[in-house]
Amino acid sequence: MVKDFVSQVNEIYNPTDEPGGYIFGFDAFLTRPVRGPNTFIEETYGLYGKEGNGELNLFEEEVSMTLPYAENDTFTIVQSSNILPKELEQGWDLENSGIAWFRGGNNFGLQIEDVGVQSNFYASARRMQHTTIDYDSTYPGEDKLLTPSSPNNDDGRFWLRGYEDIPFRIEDGSEMYIQGDNFKFDAVLSNDWNLASALRVDDGLNAQNIKSSEDLPEGANDTAFRISKLGDGEFTEIISVINADLGNEMGDLNDNLEHQESIENLLLDQRRAVSSVSIDEEVADLMQFQRSFQASSRVLNTLDKMLELVVMGLVK
């Protein structure tokens, strides 16, 4: 029920799936990014193992990740620049093409005037419709210097604008990234078996910025009206059914509890009847046995003395 209600409210409030435009979200965490196979180069040119060997670094400790739907999502970041393996250079007349090309290591590609070789990446998600990447001009990096106009010349980072703003940095390796190189990471629900406990309301939601209408003039309140209508039909019936089921189940549980308590009391009575012990009777029996033992001991002593006298008399 929580899953359906949250999904419907978010779809009404944010029908275009804009980043950060949701009312509710479920707690989630980000997985470690992995480099995927370059299916573009493999399927288009039949070349394998030509990927760049850098890494994608997520700053997940800065993200309070939430998902607006009760399902995991996968983000993909892909290199889109026209940089290709050197095996494809044959047949390309780079010098006479009239275009500025570069050769670097095992790759070649288009060189942008006044910028040089630049890798461009774009982002996508399995479910989310709109994801974008922006350069984080406020991040100084390890050198503590800001170079917002040239992120490739600094140890800066980028923002992935998704359900949340996710900061990341793509680290270069010994092999340059080529067109189609990609990284993937997941946003995973932190508690998918108890969604109610993982539900969160947008921290920035307040009376001043809440959206009451999508396309109509301000004050139309069509969005608020559609959300309020959710309580008039299906969800009201679901809650009524749940309440009735809970009442019936609680009644059955109470009846079963009383029955089990009766059985327990009966078994305890039977146990006491079989194994009960009277302290007074046991003490009286103990004293009686002790006196019997003492009397037997005296008889044995007397017999021993008599036997001794008989033996001594025979010896004489």
Mean pLDDT of the chain, nearest integer: 76
Residue with tokens 């003490």: 283
What CA–CA distances, in Å, run from 309 to 220, 296, 298, 299, 302?
129, 20, 17, 16, 11
Query: What does the alpha-carbon distance between residue 231 and residue 227 come to, in Å, rounded to a whole number?
Result: 8
Confidence of residue 74 (pLDDT cuts 50, 70, 90): very high
pLDDT of residue 162: 86
Query: Rounded mean pLDDT of 213-236?
Result: 64
Bridge partner residues of 104 (DSSP): 107
Task: Give pLDDT, residue 77.
Answer: 93
Rg, the chain, Cα only? 41
Does the pLDDT at position 175 exceed 50?
A: yes
Q: Give percent above pLDDT 70 in the chain.
A: 69
Q: How would you label 57-86 residue by residue, b for 16+ Cβ within 10 Å and e otherwise?
A: ebebeebebbbbbbeebebebbbebebbbe
- Pick the more confident residue, 238 or 96: 238
pLDDT of residue 76: 94
